[in-house]
Structure formats: C-alpha cells, structure tokens
Amino acid sequence: MAKERSGVIHELLRKAELLKQGAEARVYRAQFLGRSVIVKERFAKRYRHPGLDDKLTHRRTVQEVRSILRCRRGGISAPVVYFVDHTFHCIFLEEILGSLTVRDHIAFTQQSDSCEDRELEQLAQRVGQILAKMHDEDVIHGDLTTSNMLLRRGQEDKESDLVLIDFGLSYISSLPEDKGVDLYVLEKAFLSTHPNTEALFKVLLKSYTASSKKSSAVIKKLDEVRLRGRKRSMVG
C-alpha cells in the first residue's frame, strides 16, 4: 500500500486533541485500546530531501523508543509504549495522569509561604538519583528540563513517582562527555527557569555524584563543558 503524503493523518488524530506543536513533532491526546494515550507524530519535513527525511525521522523515532525501554528496564519511570506506527512515525505512549511537572511544582512551592527548603531539597536529591540511574544505563536524555520531569501522585500514601518524559532527542552513549553535556543542559534550563536555585542544583549534583558509579568522570566533563559554553573564553 503506497504511503500517503505528509499531511494526511489518521482519522484518530484528526479527532484527537492537539496538545503541542513543536518544530519536530505534534503531540496529541487520544483514547487508544481503552486507555488515555499521548500520540507523538513526527511529521514529514518538506524542506528536507524526502528520502533523507524518512530515514532521519525513522531513526529519531527508533532512538526515542529504545531509550524509553532501556530506562524502564533499569527501573526508571518513563511512559509505557503501546504502539509505534513506522509509516507515519507516530508513537503511542501512556498518558501520565494525575501529574504535575517538576517545573510547576518548584514554582508553586517557591510561591507559597510554607517552609519549602527541605521539601525541594529532597526533590532535588531524587532527581539526582534518577538521572544517575539513567546515565548508568547509558541513556542520554538530550533535553533535560524540569518540564520533562513529572511528579505522578502515588497510590494511597505512597510517595509520588518521578517520571521522565520526552525522549525525542535521546540516544544511547557511555561517554562521560555526553552525560556531562546532558547535565549541563539541565543546569542551564534549571537555573534560567527557577531563580535563586543554585544551592538546590548543587544538591542535585551531589545526589547524582553519590548515586552513580561512574560520576567522577561525568562531573569532570561537566566542569570542562561549563568552561566552554557561550560567552566563555577558550583562551588556554
């Protein structure tokens, strides 16, 4: 069956609720097999050569899905993958219900008057731990921000679950440099999104260092990458 031109989407997506449109993909919410799902559609890029576009898009889709599965196998919470449509490059993922982004959680907690330091520190520790676990599985997230981390309300009195999402730029690598860059991306996003959180991020890194078996090489690279960045003198 000939693959239809880009722009033609499933009936399902036509009726589904579009949540986000990025440069790379559209994200929808829909019902699928009786569950609430998120559908991530990597649409065709018409400015690219079609043969290349198809290969690239396919590769990105495959990398995303492989990273998610690797995380889950390592006990790191990431959405369940229900179905991958390789003809339209759509990934059908579990919708994490009853959740709040870490970004919003930090923002709300900082706004409220109650004593937030301890609570946010504990959160930072947990984030450090989960990222250490992820890097120990050699998964590079590629887009670490507090918007890509969800706090899912736990059942009954259990603690809320920290879930990583949006593995669209992720890949597998054992190189400390790649892990260092991953943390650098988070540091930049974290500090620019949440004012006055330098100490909090230090707690995160401390927790990461304590939890990962390979952390010293990674932190060393992180320091090197920090010296590189924008508006940084590379004079030796």
Query: 143 an active-site residue?
Result: yes
**Rg of the chain (C-alpha set):** 19
Q: Hey, which bits of 97-235 come out as E strands?
A: 99-101, 139-140, 149-152, 161-164, 171-172
Output the DSSP codes for 64-119. HHHHHHHHHHTT---PPEEEEETTTTEEEEE---SEEEHHHHHHHHHHSSS--HHH
Looking at residue 79, what DSSP letter applies? P
- Return d(Cα 165, Cα 149) in angstroms, integer: 6
Q: Is 73 in the site for other proteins (CB under 8 A)?
A: yes
Stretch near other proteins under the rule CB under 8 A, chosen from 65-73, 114-122, 172-180, 204-212: 65-73
Catalytic residue among 54, 143, 161, 178: 143
Question: Quick one: which of 6, 9, 10, 177 contacts other proteins (CB under 8 A)?
Answer: 10
Map residue 126 onto helix, strand or coil: helix
Question: Least distance to other proteins from the beta carbon of 52, Å?
Answer: 19
Beta carbons of 189 and 144 less than 8 angstroms apart: yes
Please identify, using beta-carbon distances, which residue of 80 and 217 lies nearer to other proteins: 80
Q: Is 12 in the site for other proteins (CB under 8 A)?
A: yes
Please identify, using beta-carbon distances, which residue of 9 and 169 lies nearer to other proteins: 9
Question: Quick one: which of 29, 49, 83, 159 contacts other proteins (CB under 8 A)?
Answer: 83
Q: Is 78 in the site for other proteins (CB under 8 A)?
A: yes
Question: Least distance to other proteins from the beta carbon of 122, Å?
Answer: 19
Q: Is 1 in the site for other proteins (CB under 8 A)?
A: yes
Question: Cα(first)–Cα(last) distance of the chain, in Å?
Answer: 59
**Total residue count of the chain as it appears in this document:** 236
Question: Least distance to other proteins from the beta carbon of 224, Å?
Answer: 32
For the annotated catalytic residues, the residue numbers are 143
Residues at the interface with other proteins (CB under 8 A): 1, 10-12, 30-35, 62, 65-66, 68-69, 72-78, 80-87, 92, 94, 161
